[in-house]
């Protein structure tokens, strides 16, 4: 199964991706946050589902998700329905 992962946002060294499985389907909207060798999977309310990030970066990701929940939902829908990539501002 091929996995495609566009970069949606980045801030303070954290990279935010949404994955799409070709030939498969994710059941719950979520995003992946990567920082150095760490990776965490979060829901759109900022809750960690799986993985880990250093505490400081995890708190930044949680805050970012809460601020951009509506945009994350729109990006998830666009990416999974039409393949459109919607970029989201990072934290400043």
The structure's pTM equals 0.88
2-20 pLDDT, tens per residue? 567 899 999 999 999 997 6
23-80 pLDDT, tens per residue? 555 568 899 999 999 999 999 999 999 999 999 999 999 999 999 999 999 999 998 8
> Counting beta carbons within 10 angstroms of the beta carbon of residue 2, is it exposed (0 to 12), middle (13 to 18) or buried (19 or more)?
exposed
Q: What is the DSSP letter of 73?
A: H
Q: State which H helix or E strand residue 69 sits in.
A: helix 69-82
Residue with tokens 């996995």: 3
Tell me the C-alpha distance between 75 and 73, whole Å. Answer: 5
């Amino acid at each position: 199964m091929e996995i495609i992962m566009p970069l949606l946002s980045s801030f303070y060294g954290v990279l935010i991706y949404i994955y799409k499985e070709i030939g498969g389907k994710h059941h719950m909207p979520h995003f992946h946050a990567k920082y150095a060798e760490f990776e965490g999977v979060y829901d759109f309310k900022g809750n960690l589902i799986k993985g880990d990030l250093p505490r400081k970066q995890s708190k930044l990701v949680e805050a970012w998700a809460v601020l951009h929940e509506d945009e994350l939902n729109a990006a998830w829908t666009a990416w999974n329905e039409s393949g459109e990539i919607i970029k989201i501002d990072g934290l400043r």
